[in-house]
Amino acid sequence: MKIKKMLALVLAVIMVVSLAACGGSAGGDAANATSIAVCLASEPDTIDPALNSAVDGATLLIHLFSGLAKWAQKDDGTLEIVPDAAKELVEGVENEDGTVTYTYTLRDGLKWSDGQDVTAGDFEFAWQRAASLELAADYGYMFEVVDGYADIVDVDDDGNAKNPDAKLNVKAVDDKTLEVTLANAVPYWNELLAFPVYFPVREDVVSDDGWATDPATYVCNGMYKLDSWDHNSLITLTKNADHPDAAEVTMDTINFYLSDDANNQLSNFKNGEWLLIDDVPTNEIASIKAEYPDEFFNVGQIGTYYVCWNVNEDILPEGSDLEGAEAETAKAEIRKAVSLLLDRNYIVDEIAQGGQLPASSFVAMGLTDADGSEFYKNTGFSSDFDGYFNTSADALESNFDSAIETLKKYYDYDEAEGKFTNFPTMTYLYNTSEGHKAIGEYIQSALANVGITMNMENQEWATFLNTRKAGDYSIARNGWLADYNDPICFLDMWTTASGNNDVQYGKGDHESVAAYSLDLTDLGYDTKVENGTWAETYDVLISDIKSCTDNDTRYKLMHKAEDMLMDTGCLTPIYYYTDLYMLSKTVKGFFSNPLGYKYFMYTTVEA
Amino acid sequence: MNSKTLLYIVKRVLLALFTVWVVITITFFVMHAVPGGPFVGEKATTPAVQAAMEAKYGLDKPPLEQYGTYLKDIVTKFDFGPSLKQRGRMVIDIIADGMKTSMKLGLIAAGVAALIGIVLGAVAALRRNKLIDRVIMVITTAFVSMPSFIIGALLLALFSVQLRWLPANGSTAAGLVLPIITLALYPMAYITRLTRSSMLDVLGQDYIRTAKAKGVSGARIIFGHALKNSLIPVLTYLGPMLAYIVTGSLVVEQIFAVPGIGRQFVSSITNRDYPMIMGTTIILAALIVIMNLVTDILYKVVDPRITLE
């Protein structure tokens, strides 16, 4: 009797629970095809266009704002940069001092979401603000190409700005005309104009520090308005019917759900609630590919996963009498040989499993050369393969043999065991993550196979960044994603003074190592250095690239820079990144760009 | 309330404030001692920008001075400062947002756990060694030993992905049902077992036997004497459990994408968002201290034999 009562109680509870469920989840997105529910990541740090430095934030911003230019998809599926708020993307006019001035006219009918007109002054204000030290935005350096930026960030030894009144050379001639002057012409200027940090904001709106956290104060000028923001849970954008391009916008409402858990995202995709998810659990990729062959995507992303070596780490055998430039040349040869011991196909197919491609260069796949061809295919020294070494499975054995031959020159080799006996023990530093650990363990076993001992050390993310920047490691996991389609993104980070110079080029002992040569006379420059230091060669080369106005020469210089980098052996490319996401078959009209931004405005959802 | 009790409460409140101060101090200095900072990212900013940021948030000052300013702002203005990561938002707002959800979730889960737990525990004790007792014990043992990430994942796979009865994210009311169940199962099972053993203990006491001998009705013995007296250990557990459960469970929030305070707490540490770390730690510490105090005072209410000193 009692048991029956208990059972009845339990049943009653279950019924109440399921009733509650019906009340909440019914309706929603499946029934209403003019809205789409997606999940990119957790709560964005900010959706202030000037402060954002994240890909998920950028995806929100391209829906909320119209900059001078935007990415668009052509009929054949390829992407191009087209005018947005500007009537056209004009050519620059070169001034006598070598600077280049662009004069843009704003198109008619552009309004802020509160009804006011968008003016050229809003652009001027937004750009000055984004580049200012007062705002101290992560992506302030994206204005580096604009005349005046160098003065803004010029600091004395105490870190105080030398020119507190410095401004960008940009001004609104009238409400419709914006004039901007670049230090010198750069080929990726139009692409920068489509970058969120270049979007306009209005002075009276952003004077409130919290303006970008609340829909009530969020004033934007794009195809969508910020309808609601339930922090850490859901951001809803609704179509702005007053936008000049509103007729092209097919999706009325976009619900961006906020979750940082890949498994949770997958559950919501599987039960049909979310139609796009931007994160996929690594250990389920194999089964997802089998289960959802038409809904799992991996598209190219311009970035490289690599291993970096501390240039100052002594890897020569104990008792080696090599010194200075000779030692550095030997170390470079050793590092390049160790790189050839790795089977990158195994790493991408068995460990990473995300459709990544084995990398044989540092400048990533997807970046284009002067003639529009792939930059990485034009690198290296052999026409038999792309990049600096052959990553194909056929070349595995010959790579291995040549690596062993090279290493034998420096280390004792036990022929019977097939192992080196006096290679110093190294430590591999990586940030805590299953994926990074698995790749580290593979490298560890590949090296152990030839008698090289490599220990593993993991650190939590912020600590790891600190250690790696300080050069307090021997080898470390690393990765780099480009901000725009130009190889310079991958090259200027390795100058001596760069904050991203994890390898420590030109620092510490390496500062005085004169092992590098640079000859630019064939390209019309006077520069010819033999046995120079890093600062005398690489740093000079990068500054030449930055001031070069001839496109072909500029690309040739960039190839030389990458040749120099790869020749040090300090960068061991592993694979080129891909962007993984799942997209429901019911969604049409979706596209994403190489920076990982996702475009939902032109989508439709089939019921 | 007599003066002795009042004095005790005042003493305890002062002690509580001292505890919170110790927590603030330790957290503050340990946090600054950990390598890395809030403005360190994969892509380095220029030194000028880095310096401007640090000056803006006062991080360029010596730690002792920062500590002083921080304490002063909290005491005089209850100002926890701005988040360094979620630019434009104040720590207190972020915490309030997260606490709203976590509180709702936690209070319902705690209520459900206490109610069902006490009933099941009492039933098991009264039907000791009968089938129902055995069933209850087996089930509660299972729930006590199963970690929440397993229970959560199982519930999600069954009710969300397979049956599609409930959403898999906590952005709607219906989405909170599964996280509440996941949160409630462990304390419910634990309370059941506590109630059962405590009830068995009480049922063996002389005064119960006396009551029975005097012919007092079964219901009156259970509800008037046994249950009330067997709840003391449950109370001890309820206080800290409540504090723990309403301050958010990272695991449950993660699995179900619930916008609670637990996720904020953990991400603030990885981000080195100093004011967020301080804010969440202080709130968490204060809640636990308060709940302990309330529990101690409740003892007295339930059992007059306990003196508060």
Q: Which two tokens stand for residue B55?
A: 């000056």
Q: Do A268 and A38 touch, CB atoms closer than 8 A? A: no
Taking CB atoms and an 8 Å cutoff, what residues of chain A touch B177?
17, 20-21
Q: A198: closest CA among A188, A208, A207?
A: A188
Q: Tell me the mean pLDDT in the region B43-63.
A: 84
pLDDT at B172: 84
Rounded Cα distance, A308 and A505, in Å? 11
When pLDDT is cut at 50, 70 and 90, the band that residue A1 belongs to is: very low
Residue B224 predicted with pLDDT over 50:
yes
Residues B104-126: tens digit of each pLDDT: 899 999 999 999 999 999 999 98
The more confident residue out of B260 and B307 is: B260
pLDDT at A25: 38
Q: B281: closest CA among B292, B270, B268, B293?
A: B268
pLDDT at A507: 94
Among B57, B87, B99, B253, the strongest candidate for a mutation testing the A interface, having the largest count of A CBs within 10 A, is B87
Weakest mean pLDDT among A309-318, A416-425, B289-298: B289-298
pLDDT at A557: 96
C-alpha A404, offset from chain centre: 35
To the nearest whole number, what is the mean pLDDT of chain B? 88
Residue A157 near chain B (CB below 8 Å)? no
Among B43, B56, B84, B119, the strongest candidate for a mutation testing the A interface, having the largest count of A CBs within 10 A, is B43
Residue B302 predicted with pLDDT over 80:
no
Q: What is the DSSP letter of A230?
A: E
Residues A524-535: tens digit of each pLDDT: 898 999 999 999
pLDDT at A413: 94
Inspect the interface and report whether the beta carbons of B153 and A23 lie closer than 8 Å.
no
Residue B35 near chain A (CB below 8 Å)? yes
Long-range contacts from A242-247, C-beta under 8 angstroms, 24+ separation: A242/A111, A242/A115, A243/A66, A243/A111, A244/A107, A244/A108, A244/A109, A244/A110
Inspect the interface and report whether the beta carbons of A2 and B168 lie closer than 8 Å.
no
Taking CB atoms and an 8 Å cutoff, what residues of chain B touch A213?
86, 88-89
Inspect the interface and report whether the beta carbons of A462 and B259 lie closer than 8 Å.
no
B198-220 burial code (b ≥16 CB/10 A, e <16): bbbebbeeeebeebeeeeeeeee
Kind of pairing, strands A454-459 and A426-431?
A: parallel
Inspect the interface and report whether the beta carbons of A264 and B131 lie closer than 8 Å.
no
Taking CB atoms and an 8 Å cutoff, what residues of chain B touch A212?
87-88
When pLDDT is cut at 50, 70 and 90, the band that residue B171 belongs to is: confident
Residue B1 predicted with pLDDT over 60:
no
Listed in sequence order, the residues at least 6 apart from A161 whose beta carbon sits closer than 8 Å to its beta carbon are A133, A152, A153, A154, A155, B48, B52
Q: A517: closest CA among A545, A538, A497?
A: A538
Tell me the torsion sign for CA atoms A541, A545, A198, A593.
negative
**pLDDT > 90: what percent of chain A?**
73
Rounded Cα distance, B12 and B151, in Å? 38
When pLDDT is cut at 50, 70 and 90, the band that residue B308 belongs to is: low
Residues A81-102: tens digit of each pLDDT: 999 999 999 999 999 988 999 9
pLDDT at A395: 93
**pLDDT > 70: what percent of chain B?**
98
Tell me the torsion sign for CA atoms A327, A329, A330, A334.
positive
Q: Tell me the mean pLDDT in the region B272-288.
A: 91
pLDDT at B91: 94
Weakest mean pLDDT among A351-360, A583-592, B39-48: B39-48
Q: What is the DSSP letter of A237?
A: E
Q: Tell me the mean pLDDT in the region A197-208.
A: 96
From A6, A21, A467, residue closest to B174, measured CB to CB: A21
Rounded Cα distance, B33 and A530, in Å? 45
Containing H/E element for A70? strand A69-73
Rounded Cα distance, A559 and A523, in Å? 12
Taking CB atoms and an 8 Å cutoff, what residues of chain B touch A433?
none
Rounded Cα distance, A143 and A139, in Å? 8
Inspect the interface and report whether the beta carbons of B168 and A267 lie closer than 8 Å.
yes
pLDDT at A26: 36
Neighbours of A148 (CB within 10 A): 20
The DSSP code sequence of A361-425 is SSSPTT-B-TTSSBGGGG-SS-SSSSSSS--SGGGHHHHHHHHHHHHHTTS-EETTTTEES-PPP
Phi/psi of residue A530, nearest 5 degrees: -120, 140
Taking CB atoms and an 8 Å cutoff, what residues of chain B touch A53?
41, 43
CB pairs under 8 A between A and B: 185
Residue B197 near chain A (CB below 8 Å)? no
Rounded Cα distance, A163 and A160, in Å? 9
Identify residue A127 by its one-letter amino acid code.
W
ipTM value for the complex: 0.86
List, as ranges, residues 201-240 from B with C-beta within 8 Å of A. Answer: none
- Residue whose entry in the numeric block shows the structure tokens 């050793």: A334
Burial of A269 (0-12, 13-18, 19+ CB in 10 A): buried
From A2, A17, A233, residue closest to B177, measured CB to CB: A17
Q: Do A252 and A605 touch, CB atoms closer than 8 A? A: no
- Residue whose entry in the numeric block shows the structure tokens 């009918």: A109
pLDDT at A19: 42
Kindly report the pTM of this predicted structure.
0.86
C-alpha B194, offset from chain centre: 19
pLDDT at B245: 82
Strands (E), A231-338: 234-239, 253-257, 276-277, 296-309
Listed in sequence order, the residues at least 6 apart from B124 whose beta carbon sits closer than 8 Å to its beta carbon are B132, B133, B136, B137, B192, B195, B196
Secondary structure of residue A65 in the 3-state scheme: coil
Listed in sequence order, the residues at least 6 apart from A42 whose beta carbon sits closer than 8 Å to its beta carbon are A232, A258, A259, A260, B263, B267
Q: Do A443 and A341 touch, CB atoms closer than 8 A? A: no
Query: Scanning every residue of chain B, which has its alpha carbon at the shortest distance from the alpha carbon of A466?
Result: B36
Query: Scanning every residue of chain A, which has its alpha carbon at the shortest distance from the alpha carbon of B33?
Result: A463
Which value, to the nearest 10 degrees, does the dihedral of the CA atoms of residues A469, A473, A477, A478 take? 20
Tell me the torsion sign for CA atoms A164, A169, A173, A177.
negative
Rounded Cα distance, A588 and A294, in Å? 13
To the nearest whole number, what is the mean pLDDT of chain A? 90
Q: Do A338 and A452 touch, CB atoms closer than 8 A? A: yes
Report the alpha-carbon angle A81-A82-A83, nearest 5: 135
Weakest mean pLDDT among A426-435, B106-115, B264-273: B264-273
pLDDT at B7: 86
Kind of pairing, strands A276-277 and A35-39?
A: parallel
The more confident residue out of B284 and A168 is: A168
Residues A12-49: tens digit of each pLDDT: 445 444 444 443 333 344 444 689 999 999 889 899 99
Q: How far is CA B101 from CA A233, A235, B255, B277, in A?
A: 11, 17, 15, 19
The more confident residue out of A533 and B54 is: A533
Q: Tell me the mean pLDDT in the region A146-174.
A: 88
Rounded Cα distance, B82 and B30, in Å? 20
Inspect the interface and report whether the beta carbons of B257 and A213 lie closer than 8 Å.
no
